[in-house]
Structure formats: structure tokens, C-alpha cells
Chains A and B, each alone.
Chain A
Amino acid sequence: MRLTFLPTTIAHWARAAMAFGTVAISSGCNLNFWKMDGPQSTINVAGPVARSQLQVFYVTCWVTLAIFVIVASVLAYATLKFKARSEADAHAEPPAQSHGNPLIELGLIGASVFALVIIAVPTLKAIWFTYDVPAEEKANTYTVNATAYQWWFKFDYPSEQIAGVGPLTASNELVIPAGRPVRIDLRTMDVIHSFWIPKLAGKVDMIPNRGNAIWLEADAPGYFWGQCAEFCGDPHAIMRFRVIALGPQEFYDWVNRELAPARQVVPSASTAPFTTHTFKTDWMRNQYGYTGKYDADPLQSWREKQEPEPGENPALIAQGRRLFQSKTCITCHTIRGHEGTGAVAPDLTHVGSRTTIVAGLLENNTDQLRRWIHNPDSVKPGNKMYLGLGGMPGYLKKDDQGAWVPNITLTADDETALVAYLQSLK
């Protein structure tokens, strides 16, 4: 075969590879992916349940790696040693037609069983440990109920009751005490979902007609990523949540803030006039929704979100509150202390103090909130706020012919006011 074309081809491919490499590195590729230290790492864990699961993984990993090294060495040796190296070799008399050796076979079966016992013992221990809170810690356990909806999570705190209302309710951001076991009862309102906070505990499914529970504990205060881990419909990838673990005092303060009804912003004489805010508007579908500041220290961002936004405009906020009613948002969302009693969508009583919106998809800031309410379908395709839920219309409704027609429409001023109002709900 003629190979004269190769040099130019190789040079061509080398140039292409270099160009590709440059693009890859400049676009934020790092070659340390084998460290597995991302926010949903199961290796870089932060609690006893995930640690127990990790230890079992390491046992399986080392045992199988040891077997692999031995078997692979023998396989590689046999392949190289007995390979026919020449034509004469290939056509030599066939080797001895041996049929096997029962003693070797039995020995290898025994060795495999032994290796599996090494894995089985810690596995069994961890099955019982990860299943429920250890008996001696039961009294110290904090309980939360998690309920999954297509495509978001609701969290109820049965030990924090509000007179005349029921348990404290939060959405998509679960705040827990650090250093204490937390038992979470898992329910679903529609299809099967799965509750997964990789750094704290492996997943447990949320299955209709089935009462599942998970327990976990955060070693120290921190900010953790969670995500639905069972396919639950097209927007499954956008069903995420966050867990914020706080020290005892900070957790106590948070509970007290949450128990209070939604914040009232009283207009004062010095109120600034109504102004249209300029938002960033050129969002691409599925574009990344976080700032570098949040990425650098999300827990700090969370703490800052607990404070009122700088430069609040009470007139604007009041206008937003009126729109929240007139645009029928209140049918599905509750803002406790203000208007709204809807229970099929996330509780927004303290939505302004969360770090994320849209089930953990976007950072909770004015630009992203406006991006979400401006065109929900491009942010989270198929979401129920856009298409409606259980016969209730959303941004769209079906006309008599069954065609989708607009139902909720917002002007730029409406969006400005709604964003200001929702951001004020600390």
C-alpha cells in the first residue's frame, strides 16, 4: 500500500487537534476530572451516610482492582507468550489437545468466593447503617418531609408548626441543622422521583403509594447540591435542589425568620418614582444562569440573600404585589401573610431569601428572575407554570378548539414590578 499521503494528513490532523485542544482548554476544560471533586461528588463527601457508602465503594474498588491486575496480567502474558509469531509457527502441528484441569478450576472458584466475602461483610454492615438513624442518635434526630412534584421539591418541617396554617413549608432549598441526624420522609404527588444529595447520602426513590425515608447528616455547615435521580418526564434534568446545613444558632434564626409571614415593605415619603429597570435580555435557550460570585462561595451568597436587597423601591414592590394577584399567580402560589393560598406550586413566602429559582436551575437575582417570568418555556421546557396544571391555565390555556392561546401576558413594567416584589420577600 502506498503511504505517501500520510505526512500531509498527519500534519493536517495535528493542526486540527491543536486547534481543538486550544478551544477545549480556553473554554474551561480542565484535565483534573479524575479528581471527581464537583459539587455532586460521591468521593468528596460531607456526612456519615455518604462516607459509609464511599467506604463500601472503596472496598469493592480495591478488591476488584486487585483481581483485575492478577487476571489481566495472566491474560496479557498468555496472549503474548502463546501468540503465533511467524507463518511457520501458525502452520505448525496443533498443540496438545488438553481439556482442562478440575483442580485449577475449583481453586479459582474458591478464590472468587473468598474475594466476594471480603466485599459482602462491609456491604451488609453498611446496608443496616444507612437504612435508619442509629438507635443512640434517634432522640437527637431532626425530621423533615420532602414531597416531589413534576418538577420541583417541597419541604415541610413538622416540628415547626405555624398556628392556623400547619407545618413550615419551604421549596427547592432544604435548610437543615449541621451535626445532627436528619430523617427525611419521602413522598411524591405524581410520578416516581428520586432524592439524591451525593455529598450527604445516596439516593432513595419517591414512589407513589409507598412511604420511603432517608437519613443523612452534614458534618459541618455547608451548601450542597441535590438532584432528582429518576427520569420523571422531559424536564427531569431541571429538577434540582439545594441543601443548606447551618450551625445550631444560625439554624434557629433561620427557622424564626421562616416562621414569620412574608415581609411587608411600607412605602415612605422618600419613595423613589416608578422606574423601568433595564434587565439583561439576550438569553439563549438553556444558557448558564449563575454569577461568578455565587460559584465562588454559594454559602456566603445564601447568607447575603437573607438581607433586604439594596435600593428597594417600595412603590414598585407594591405594584408587583397587586400584579401577583391580578395576573392570577395566587391561584397556585402561596405567599403567607400576603395574598395567595395556592398549594400546587412552590410556596413563595420567603422566595427572596433563596439562592436559586426554577428548581435550582438559575441563581435568584433580578436578571434571572425576569428571564424566568418573561419566557418560562424557554428556561424550563414543559413546565406547569407555562402550560397550566390540573385544569388551571398557566401562561397559556387551551381555547374551545383545543389550541394553545396566551392567558397571562406581562409588559416590561409588569416584569420589573413582579421581580422587585418577589426579591423583597425575605
Chain B
Amino acid sequence: MDASAHSSDLTPGASAPHQPYVLWRPTAKTGLMSWLTTVDHKRIGFLYGLFALFFFLVGGCEALLIRLQLAVPNNNVLSAHEYSAMFTMHGTTMIFLAVMPLGAAFFNFIMPLQIGARDVAFPRLNAFSLWTFVAGAIILNVGWFLPDGPPNATWVGYAPLTSRTFMPGHSVDFWVLGLQLLGAASIAAALNFIVTIINLRAPGMTMMRLPVFTWMTLITSFLIILSFPAITIALVELLMDRTFGTNFFEVSNGGMPILWQHLFWIFGHPEVYILILPAMGIVSEILPTFSRKPLFGYPIVVFSGASIGFLGFAVWSHHMFTTGMGTVATAAFALATMAIAVPTGVKIFNWIGTLWGGHLQMRTPMMFALGFIWMFMIGGFSGVMHSAAPADAQQQDSYFVVAHFHYVLIGGSIFALLAGIHYWFPLMFGRQVSEFWGKLSFWIIFVGFNVTFFPMHFLGLNGMPRRTFTYDSNMGWNTANLISTVGAFTLGVGIALYFAVVIYTYIKGKTVGRDPWDARTLEWSIPNPPPEYNFLVTPTIHARDAFWYEKHHQAEIAQEKTAHAQAESAHGGIHMPHQSIWPLIASLGALIGAFGAVYHNLPVALVGGVVLLAGIYLWSLEGVDGYHLHLDADGNPVEDPSAHH
């Protein structure tokens, strides 16, 4: 960020530049205003994480209600309508409001630190992504407070069930607009990450020296910007059908409901990899650290991640094997789906290769990472079973599929994200989770998860369809469902314990210095707690595991840092971006506009649009300027040397 030559104010500290009052720059470093106007990637990452965990718990409660209803046959805990609202919101919440933003939390917090950057490329756009995500999450959940309840057309929202004829209430409109806002937030964030990784790498951080987590951030971001436009189009068409009576999916006027499925899954399948690639990145960081040796076959792990990204766009119709695509299309998508198992398998081989010959430190993050490999392997194998289209004709929309994707999304994504929270907790908060309680929560989660979802394979093969609120007691499904419900509550206890432990640790946990795990990547080189400017001196990268290299070449690095510090000081010190209120205002405009659009209230929609545009306009008008910090070798402020000139 040395584009500051044009900035109007270069004095040290955070004093506001001289600008018209409306373009006042907030400078609070503590309190509510500091959080609402923050552009610090670490604070934004923290907020993403906080919101994601809140919605993770909401989605978990929805899951427990679903399992309670299915515990015994002919049960009456939920009505048919409540049940379909519950699984619709469970799916939508977990995917868009829990797992994706939790991934985004790590992208924000960790990725810039891993590449030696002081922030993301567009700090205010980053804040806009966060607040637009929050606006989308609010819109999506408005349905809870409406008379007809939350949306109940499943998370895939197949046309024409979502048309005004079959779903006349407003909940589907809120669902559509909520997803649109979340999509906008995700695309903005993804572009930001891509530009950051391409442009803001520290000197010497070549692409093939990027930590694998950063690589997966990059690939995931590309998947987001390429796949979200497809669902954006589908949602616009659906909204046009519902609002203006167009006929994209309206059968009586020649619309094609099957079009929705194609558009949805062209987004939906890459979305699966958007959820799992960050998890693979986290695991690829944790395993080398706790094996005390580099990742086995780094280039192949990176390359297989990229091939998964490419192939992920060529397999969408395996979600549609039962739609009567014909033999050739079915065969083509079956083979493409099998092909994607190869790069996925390669990753598992390489993780095992990483363990081989290491000194494995069985700490809590390592337990979750190993649990991830086991569970993801099982989920991957049932995925291969689905790729065989004729077998899938029996498994599609049965509990076998429910078992499969929970093995991939909980056993895969969630296990890795939980591992990541434990792993980076000392970096974020300077405290370390107790090994006993961390491992206890791991084992309860591990057992509870398997007891919940393994019996579902049997249920599916025994013919139980998903998304059914009840079943009869003569179908042979009673025992497996009861076991599954017992497992779900065990899993719930495990998750509750996990978060109790995390909260306890945040308040009273053991304090540790920097780098408590003897880690390998650059984020661990900064002081604890991480300063706002991240790196006192921009590091120079000499090897793939940059921090490991630093630790083993201390004299050389110290010399280099002194030289860099002098050079940077001569350039005016550490450049920091100013905070800004406008991203929040713009997102607020989107939130207001969405309400207006749902209720066909033109004035409200216009107010929302004006606030959104004004926010963006003022945000560009206030400019990209920032301020400079001058710090000594210990990170203490010193007087601006340029002031003496």
C-alpha cells in the first residue's frame, strides 16, 4: 500500500484529514464506532467469525428439532409446515450463514498474514462485504417473524414450487433477496482476496511459496466469482417471475422449470468446493505443523486443488441424474464426477505422506485434523458411489445422500474449521485451549457425529426419502432414526462443550507467547496480540515454509529486517488505511431496499437504493488516503523523522 504519495495527510497517528464535514473520517480505535467503521482485516475476520458461529448455533438448533421430529415414527413435535421451514432454513443457514462466512473469517484474518501483507487490497470493500453479508443474513431470517413463517421450499428452491402459485407468501421473496445480498457480499470479498493474493505478497513470496491455505483461498475466491453469477441470474429470473409476472419458470406460459436446476447446480456444485477447499487448506497447515515436517508433495496438493476447482464446474448435472437427461449426458457427467475423485484422493495420500516419518504432536487441532481425514474419506467414498448414475437413481434424495453430504460438510468442513479455531486461537487472542477439554469435546463431537450420520446410510438404502416430516412404523426405519437422534443430541453436547471451552479460554485461558505450536508459516512471526499494522517490517521470503526458515536462519533475517526497516522509514513509515462509515451505510441501503422490494413498496425501495448509492458515492469521494505510523524496533511510536526536514 504505497500508493499514498498523493494522500493529503501524512502526519503520524490517526488524526483526521482536512475534508468537508460529510466526509469526516472516523478515528475511534475502541468502542462500538471502531467496530462499525473498521477496515482492519483482522477485526473484519473476527466479526465474520462471530456472526458465522452465531448462525452455526441457530442452524444446529434447527437440526436438533428436525432430529427430534424424526426420533420416532408418526411423531408430532413439528407440523409438516414447520418441518419443511426447519430443513429449508437449516440448509440455507449452514451453507450461506455458517460454513461460508466461517471460511471467510479465516480468509480475512489469516491470509494477509500468511503473505506478509498489512491488510487486504481494498479495506473498505472488505468492510462492505462484511456488512452486506450481515444484511443478507438478516433478510434471510426475517421469515421467522412473518405469519407464514420462514421459507419452506428447500435450500435448492426448485421451480415451479417457488412460484407465486405454490408459495404465495413473502418468505420466498426474502429468501431470494437474502441470497442475492449474500452473493454480492461473497463476490466482493472474493475479488478482494484475489487482488490481495496476486498483488500484496511480500518480496520473495512467489506463487509456489504461498502457504496452501492461501492457495485454497485463491482457488475458492475464483470459484465464488465464477459460480455466483449463475445463481444470481437464476434468482433474478425467479424474482421477475414472482414480482412482474415474467415466465422463466412459469409452465402455463412455456417456462422451463428444468432451467432453474441447471442454473442452480452450475452454482451449487462449485459451492460444494467453496465449502470444502478452505477446510482442505486449514488441514494442510495443521498437519505439517504438528508433524514437524513440510507438507508432502506441495505442488501436487496445490495442483489437485486447482483441478478440483476446474472439474467442479463440469459435474453439476450429477445432482440431476434422475431428471431424465438421456444416456449420453448421464454417462458424461458420471465419468466427470468419477474423475474428480482422483485429485481429491491425491490430497488424502499427501496428508498421509505428511504424517509419515514425522514427530506427530497429538494436540487438539491435530485431533480435529486427523478426524477430518477419516470422516472426509468416508464422505468421499459415498460420493464415488453417487457418481455411478444407476446406483444414484436409488440414492438420490434419500437419506443416503443426507449421510454423504453431512460426512463431507461436518466431517469435512466443520471439523477443519473447528480445528482452525483451536489452531489459530493463540494467534488471535494470545490464549491456548486446554488440551483435556479440547480433546474431550473432540471425542464427543466425533462419536456423536458418527452415531448421527452413519445409520443414515442404512436408512437411505432402506428407502427413506429425505425432506419427509414423518414416516410409518412399518418401514423398518425406526431403530436407525432413534439412534441417529440420540447421536444428534450427543453431537449437540459436544458442540456446546466446544464453544463453552472456547469462551472460557477467551476469558481465562492459559496465556501463551507467539508461536506456541512451533509453526511454519508467516502469520506466526508477528507479535501477540497482532498489531493493527501486522508486520513491523515487511518480511522477505526465502522459502516455502517462510517462518520455519526464519527460525532456522535468525542472524540472516535480523540483518535483513534492519535494512528493510530503514528503507521503509525513508519511504514515510508504515502506511495505514483510514476507517470509514460508508461501507456500513451502503449495506444498510441494501437492507432497506430489500424490504421495499419484497413488499412492492416503491418509496421504501427507492430510499434503500438512494442510501446504497449515496454510501458508495461518498465512499469513493472520501478517497483512498491513509496515515503513516513510525515505529521503533519494538513497535513503539517514534516521532516522524520527515518532520525534521
Check if A113 sits within 8 Å of B458, measured CB to CB: no
Within 8 A of A (CB), among B294-350: 294-300, 322-324, 326-327, 330-331, 334-335, 338-339, 341-342, 345-346, 348-350
Check if B482 sits within 8 Å of A24, measured CB to CB: yes
Within 8 A of B (CB), among A356-412: 381-382
Also in contact, A231 and B158, with CB within 8 A (given A28-B478, A38-B477, A68-B381): yes
Determine which of B298, B381, B470 lies in contact with A286 in the assembled complex, contact meaning CB atoms within 8 Å: B470
Check if B161 sits within 8 Å of A60, measured CB to CB: no
Contact partners of B330 in chain A: CB under 8 A:
127, 131
Check if A83 sits within 8 Å of B393, measured CB to CB: no
State whether the Cβ of B356 lies closer than 8 Å to any Cβ in chain A: yes
State whether the Cβ of B370 lies closer than 8 Å to any Cβ in chain A: yes
Within 8 A of A (CB), among B389-404: 389-398
Check if A100 sits within 8 Å of B298, measured CB to CB: yes
Q: How many residue-residue contacts, CB under 8 A, span A and B?
A: 327
State whether the Cβ of A334 lies closer than 8 Å to any Cβ in chain B: no
Check if B465 sits within 8 Å of A227, measured CB to CB: yes
State whether the Cβ of B528 lies closer than 8 Å to any Cβ in chain A: no
Question: A143 vs B503: C-alpha distance in the bound complex, in angstroms?
Answer: 64
Binds B, one of A70-78, A269-277, A340-348: A70-78
Check if B480 sits within 8 Å of A33, measured CB to CB: yes
Check if B341 sits within 8 Å of A191, measured CB to CB: no
Check if A105 sits within 8 Å of B388, measured CB to CB: no
State whether the Cβ of A212 lies closer than 8 Å to any Cβ in chain B: yes
Known: A75-B373, A109-B346, A230-B397. 18 other contacts (CB 8 A): A33-B459, A42-B398, A74-B352, A82-B359, A95-B291, A100-B353, A104-B349, A123-B331, A127-B390, A130-B390, A190-B166, A201-B393, A205-B322, A207-B257, A209-B258, A234-B80, A237-B468, A381-B81
Question: A180 vs B360: C-alpha distance in the bound complex, in angstroms?
Answer: 62
Interface string of B526-550 (1 = CB under 8 A from A): 0000000000000000000000000
Check if B345 sits within 8 Å of A202, measured CB to CB: no
Check if A28 sits within 8 Å of B473, measured CB to CB: yes
Determine which of B166, B391, B475, B480 lies in contact with A191 in the assembled complex, contact meaning CB atoms within 8 Å: B166
State whether the Cβ of A266 lies closer than 8 Å to any Cβ in chain B: no
Also in contact, A202 and B84, with CB within 8 A (given A36-B462, A288-B472): no
For A83, the closest partner residue in chain B by CB is B360
Check if A95 sits within 8 Å of B357, measured CB to CB: yes
6 nearest A-B residue pairs (beta carbon): A40-B463, A202-B393, A38-B476, A237-B468, A100-B297, A126-B390
Question: A213 vs B325: C-alpha distance in the bound complex, in angstroms?
Answer: 11
State whether the Cβ of A204 lies closer than 8 Å to any Cβ in chain B: yes
Contact partners of A50 in chain B: CB under 8 A:
394
Question: A212 vs B321: C-alpha distance in the bound complex, in angstroms?
Answer: 12
Also in contact, A41 and B341, with CB within 8 A (given A52-B390, A71-B348, A234-B84): no
Check if A203 sits within 8 Å of B355, measured CB to CB: no
State whether the Cβ of A12 lies closer than 8 Å to any Cβ in chain B: no
Contact partners of B295 in chain A: CB under 8 A:
100
Determine which of A40, A127, A382 lies in contact with B462 in the assembled complex, contact meaning CB atoms within 8 Å: A40
Contact partners of B74 in chain A: CB under 8 A:
286-288
CB distance from A247 to the nearest CB of B (A): 25
Question: A68 vs B475: C-alpha distance in the bound complex, in angstroms?
Answer: 31
Interface string of A191-211 (1 = CB under 8 A from B): 110101010011111011110
Residue picked from B154, B292, B480, most chain A C-beta under 10 Å: B292
Contact partners of A83 in chain B: CB under 8 A:
360, 362
For B328, the closest partner residue in chain A by CB is A127
For A129, the closest partner residue in chain B by CB is B390
Check if B322 sits within 8 Å of A194, measured CB to CB: yes
Determine which of A233, A236, A237, A285 lies in contact with B166 in the assembled complex, contact meaning CB atoms within 8 Å: A233
Contact partners of B392 in chain A: CB under 8 A:
202
State whether the Cβ of A260 lies closer than 8 Å to any Cβ in chain B: no
Check if B477 sits within 8 Å of A207, measured CB to CB: no
CB distance from A334 to the nearest CB of B (A): 24
Binds A, one of B248-256, B278-286, B600-608: B248-256
Also in contact, A213 and B324, with CB within 8 A (given A100-B296, A119-B338, A237-B468): yes
For A232, the closest partner residue in chain B by CB is B161
Check if A207 sits within 8 Å of B323, measured CB to CB: yes
Which range contains the number of A residues in contact with the other chain? 35 or more
CB distance from A187 to the nearest CB of B (A): 11
CB distance from A188 to the nearest CB of B (A): 9
Check if B339 sits within 8 Å of A116, measured CB to CB: yes
State whether the Cβ of A56 lies closer than 8 Å to any Cβ in chain B: yes
Question: A404 vs B254: C-alpha distance in the bound complex, in angstroms?
Answer: 33
Check if A33 sits within 8 Å of B458, measured CB to CB: yes
Contact partners of A289 in chain B: CB under 8 A:
472
Check if A60 sits within 8 Å of B388, measured CB to CB: yes
Also in contact, A94 and B292, with CB within 8 A (given A33-B462, A83-B362): yes
Check if A40 sits within 8 Å of B389, measured CB to CB: no
CB distance from A421 to the nearest CB of B (A): 27
CB distance from A193 to the nearest CB of B (A): 10
Determine which of B358, B397, B464 lies in contact with A194 in the assembled complex, contact meaning CB atoms within 8 Å: B397
State whether the Cβ of A34 lies closer than 8 Å to any Cβ in chain B: yes
Determine which of A29, A96, A236, A284 lies in contact with B482 in the assembled complex, contact meaning CB atoms within 8 Å: A29
State whether the Cβ of B377 lies closer than 8 Å to any Cβ in chain A: yes
Question: A173 vs B217: C-alpha distance in the bound complex, in angstroms?
Answer: 53
State whether the Cβ of B199 lies closer than 8 Å to any Cβ in chain A: no
Question: A228 vs B463: C-alpha distance in the bound complex, in angstroms?
Answer: 11
State whether the Cβ of B79 lies closer than 8 Å to any Cβ in chain A: yes
Check if B476 sits within 8 Å of A31, measured CB to CB: no
Check if B384 sits within 8 Å of A94, measured CB to CB: no
Also in contact, A99 and B381, with CB within 8 A (given A40-B462, A56-B390, A237-B470): no
Question: A48 vs B456: C-alpha distance in the bound complex, in angstroms?
Answer: 26
Also in contact, A288 and B473, with CB within 8 A (given A31-B479, A79-B370, A127-B389): yes
Contact partners of A120 in chain B: CB under 8 A:
334-335, 338
Q: How many residues of B contact A (CB 8 A)?
A: 106
Check if A34 sits within 8 Å of B458, measured CB to CB: yes
Check if B161 sits within 8 Å of A229, measured CB to CB: no
Contact partners of B477 in chain A: CB under 8 A:
33, 38
**Would you list 28 pairs from A and B whose C-beta atoms are within 8 A, ordered by A residue?**
A33-B455, A33-B459, A39-B474, A43-B461, A54-B391, A57-B391, A64-B385, A75-B355, A75-B374, A82-B360, A84-B362, A97-B294, A98-B293, A98-B296, A100-B300, A101-B296, A102-B297, A105-B297, A123-B390, A203-B397, A204-B324, A207-B257, A225-B463, A225-B475, A231-B161, A234-B83, A237-B465, A288-B474
Also in contact, A231 and B359, with CB within 8 A (given A33-B479, A100-B297, A108-B349): no
State whether the Cβ of B139 lies closer than 8 Å to any Cβ in chain A: no
Determine which of B153, B324, B355, B377 lies in contact with A71 in the assembled complex, contact meaning CB atoms within 8 Å: B377
Residue picked from A204, A207, A228, A284, most chain B C-beta under 10 Å: A207
Check if A112 sits within 8 Å of B390, measured CB to CB: no
Check if A284 sits within 8 Å of B458, measured CB to CB: no
Question: A105 vs B331: C-alpha distance in the bound complex, in angstroms?
Answer: 28
Contact partners of A11 in chain B: CB under 8 A:
none
Question: A9 vs B357: C-alpha distance in the bound complex, in angstroms?
Answer: 42
Contact partners of A238 in chain B: CB under 8 A:
80, 470
Contact partners of A74 in chain B: CB under 8 A:
352
Contact partners of A37 in chain B: CB under 8 A:
462, 476
Check if B255 sits within 8 Å of A99, measured CB to CB: no
Contact partners of B294 in chain A: CB under 8 A:
97-99
Interface string of B136-175 (1 = CB under 8 A from A): 0000000000000000111000101100001000000000
Check if B357 sits within 8 Å of A109, measured CB to CB: no
Determine which of A41, A56, A190 lies in contact with B461 in the assembled complex, contact meaning CB atoms within 8 Å: A41
CB distance from B358 to the nearest CB of A (A): 5
For B390, the closest partner residue in chain A by CB is A126
Contact partners of A228 in chain B: CB under 8 A:
465
Also in contact, A204 and B257, with CB within 8 A (given A40-B464, A74-B352): no
Question: A116 vs B381: C-alpha distance in the bound complex, in angstroms?
Answer: 11
Interface string of A274-303 (1 = CB under 8 A from B): 000000000011111110000100000000
Check if B257 sits within 8 Å of A192, measured CB to CB: yes
State whether the Cβ of B72 lies closer than 8 Å to any Cβ in chain A: yes
Determine which of B76, B331, B361 lies in contact with A84 in the assembled complex, contact meaning CB atoms within 8 Å: B361
